[in-house]
Amino acid sequence: MTENVWNYQPTSGHLTGTDLTGYKVEAADGSIGKVDKHSDEVGDAYLVVDTGVWIFGKEVLLPASTVVRIDPEDKRVFVSRTKEQIKDAPEFHRDKHLGDTRYREELGAYYGIGGPFGGPPV
């Protein structure tokens, strides 16, 4: 099952309706960029992160379950994956993948229970 990856963890501090655009995103081992777009829809929540020069100006799509903590005061989002794990995720192209169900399933499998991490984020 991959649908759980598209929900924020109850302990993340996410408040529905909070605009996360512009927040810095911190992987387990360092900064990966800023939130360019996000959704907090139940069952379809995600972050689109502009990685800047980190991966040559590309964007990555992170399921909401990867978010472990949100710091609204410092405008930072902390995720439970390393930079390498995020970089190795299925490649994301906003125009092609944002509404693509098959891509969501592939990404959900990568970050979810059947993926290389063996289960939901810690």
Please report the pLDDT score of residue 45 as a whole number: 93
pTM: 0.87
Q: Mean of the pLDDT values across residues 14-43?
A: 94
Q: Mean of the pLDDT values across residues 17-30?
A: 95
Q: Mean of the pLDDT values across residues 74-89?
A: 94
Question: What's the CA gap between 8 and 106, in Å, rounded?
Answer: 19
Residue 112, pLDDT > 90, answer no
Question: What's the CA gap between 40 and 36, in Å, rounded?
Answer: 14
Residue 70: which pLDDT band, with cuts at 50, 70 and 90? very high
What domains lie within the chain, and their CATH numbers?
3-104 (2.30.30.240)
Q: Mean of the pLDDT values across residues 70-78?
A: 97
Residue appearing with tokens 């592939």: 106
Question: What's the CA gap between 106 and 27, in Å, rounded?
Answer: 21
Please report the pLDDT score of residue 3 as a whole number: 53
Question: What's the CA gap between 79 and 122, in Å, rounded?
Answer: 10
Q: What are residue 35's DSSP bridge partners? A: 49
